[in-house]
Amino acid sequence: MIWTHSHLGRWICLNLNIEISSSCNLNCLYCPRRNAFGLEQFMPLGVLERVVRAVEPERVVLIGLGEPTLHPRFREVLEVLRDSQVVLQTNGTFPERVRMAVEVHPDLEVALSLDLPPSVAGRFRIGLEPGRIEETMRIMSRRRSSISALMMRSSMEALPELLSLAASYDIESLDLSGMVPITEELDEERVFTFLSRRLFEYLEGRSELVEIAYRAARIVLDSWGPVDSNELRVYEAGVREMEAQGLTPNFALYEMEAHRAREALRREKYLRILEEEASSLGIRLKRTSLFAQEARRCPYAETETGAVSATGELSPCYDLLHDHTYYLFGHEKRIKAVRFGPAWERASMESYQAYREKLLEFDRNFAPCHTCPFAARGACFFVPDNGVDCEGASPTCSECPFALDLVSCSL
C-alpha cells in the first residue's frame, strides 16, 4: 500500500468516486457530457485493481460522466470492490445488471439518478425507457437505496411525483439538487440564485441605494475635480454600512439575480411543504440551498473523498475529471480537468493532498469570485476558465457552485 498519511493525523482518500465508464446510453440535455470530449472509455480491470490496492477505499461511489453498468466486465468490477462499501449511481436503464450487482455485492447501495419526474423527463432525457426504470426501482425496494433528482424550473411543480414513486417502492431517501446549466439557454431552467440570502435581503429593502449605485460611477466620471453630490454621499454611506456587516456591495450580481432570488423565496415555501409530506411518508428528503452560502466549503475535501477517472488518474472531485463547460454567474465557464496522475503513485497522492489542504480552507485560498462585482457576467479577465484566479490560485475553484451548496456532490 502507498502511504498516504497526512500531517493532520488522518488518512486521505478514505472514499473514492470511481469512473469505471465514461460511456452512456442516454443523451440528457443538461449533462456536461454534451460539451465534454475524449470520452467513451471503460476502466481496464487491471487499472481498477491497482487503484484499490493502493488506496484501500472504505467507500466507493461508482459514478462518472458515463453509466457504470455499461462496463463490459461489470461483475468483475464488483468482485474487485468486495471489501469496500459500494454505492452504484445508475440511470436505471439496465435493471438486469442492477439485479446482478445486488446479488454479487449484497450490501450494495443503489442510487438511482432519476433526475426528473416522469411527466417531465421525456423533454430532457433522450433515450429514456420508463418501463426499465420502474423495474430497477422494484429491485431497489426495501434495501439501501435513494433517488436523486434535479430542481429545474420545468420540474418543480411535478416533484411530488418523485415522492409517490419513492413511497411506492419503499425507497429510503430522495435527494434534490440544483442543476448547473451547461449553456446560456439552459440557464433559464436554473432555480437557485448566486446571491446570498443576506445580500439579497439587504439590497431588496434599499431600492434607493440600488438605483443610485448605477449612477454613482457616472457622477464621478463626469466630474472634473472634487465631487459634491448628495447621491454620492448616500451611496458611500450605504457601501460603508454593507462592508461593516461583512457584505460585498455587489450591485451587478443583485441586478442580474434579484428576480431569481424572489422566485427562490417562493420556492422555499413550496419545498418546506414537500419536506413535511416526505416526513409523513417516512422518506428522508435532502436538498441543496436555493441561495448561495457565504462561506464556501468543499464536501469532497471535508469527507476525504477523491475521484478517479476511467484512465486511473486521481482528481480532487468528480466535476474535475474531464474538460467541459458550464454557464455560471452570467458567463460561460470552461472547466479544465484537474488530474494529478495515476492514483497508485506517491507523487499523485502528495499533489492531491496538497490541493485538498487548500480546499479545506476554501475562502482563504481561492478568490471570492462569488461575491465580486467584476465576475458577474464575465467582466473579469480571470473567470472564463478555472486555470487561475486573481489571487494566483491555480487551478482555481473560485466559482464552484458545489462549494456554495447550490449543487450536491456525489459522495
Q: Read off φ and ψ for residue 308, nearest 5 degrees.
A: -125, 130
In a 10 Å sphere around its CB, with 0-12 CB exposed, 13-18 middle and 19+ buried, how is residue 205 labelled? exposed
All 3 cell numbers of residue 219?
Answer: 457622477
Percent of the chain whose predicted confidence (pLDDT) is above 90: 83
Q: Count other C-beta atoms under 10 Å from residue 381's C-beta.
A: 8
Predicted confidence (pLDDT) at residue 10 exceeds the cutoff of 50: no
The Cα–Cα gap between 338 and 318 comes to 10
Tens digit of each residue's pLDDT (9 = 90 or more) over 249-304: 999 999 999 999 999 999 999 999 999 999 999 999 999 999 999 999 999 999 99
DSSP states along 257-326: HHHHHHHHHHHHHHHHHHHHHHHHTT-EEEE--SEE-SS---HHHHTTEEEE-TT-BEESSGGGSS-EEE
CA distances from 229 to 208, 224, 285, 397 (A): 15, 13, 53, 40
All 3 cell numbers of residue 250?
Answer: 455587489
E-strand ranges in 45-181 read 59-62, 85-90, 109-115, 125-126, 145-151, 173-178
**Mean of per-residue pLDDT scores for the chain:** 93
- Higher pLDDT among residues 229 and 382, named by residue: 382
pLDDT given for residue 14 in this prediction: 86
pLDDT given for residue 224 in this prediction: 63
CA distances from 304 to 321, 347, 404 (A): 17, 18, 18
> In which element (H, E) is residue 331 found?
strand 331-335
Q: Count other C-beta atoms under 10 Å from residue 59's C-beta.
A: 17
Distance of alpha carbon 182 from the chain centroid: 12
The Cα–Cα gap between 333 and 383 comes to 7
Predicted confidence (pLDDT) at residue 174 exceeds the cutoff of 70: yes
pLDDT given for residue 38 in this prediction: 61
Region 73-100: mean pLDDT is 98
Nearest to 338 by CA among 384, 306, 376, 371: 306
Nearest to 55 by CA among 343, 301, 308, 305: 343
Q: Which domains does the chain have, with CATH numbers?
A: 15-189+263-378 (3.20.20.70), 193-258 (no CATH)
The Cα–Cα gap between 330 and 187 comes to 9
The Cα–Cα gap between 147 and 137 comes to 9
Distance of alpha carbon 23 from the chain centroid: 20
The β-bridge relationship of strands 193-196 and 291-292 is parallel
Predicted confidence (pLDDT) at residue 56 exceeds the cutoff of 80: yes
Q: How confident is the model at residue 169 (pLDDT cuts 50, 70, 90)?
A: very high
Q: How confident is the model at residue 3 (pLDDT cuts 50, 70, 90)?
A: very low
Looking at the chain, the number of H-run helices and the number of E-run strands are 13, 15
CA distances from 234 to 53, 58, 207, 230, 372 (A): 64, 57, 12, 6, 21
pLDDT given for residue 9 in this prediction: 29
The Cα–Cα gap between 330 and 208 comes to 25
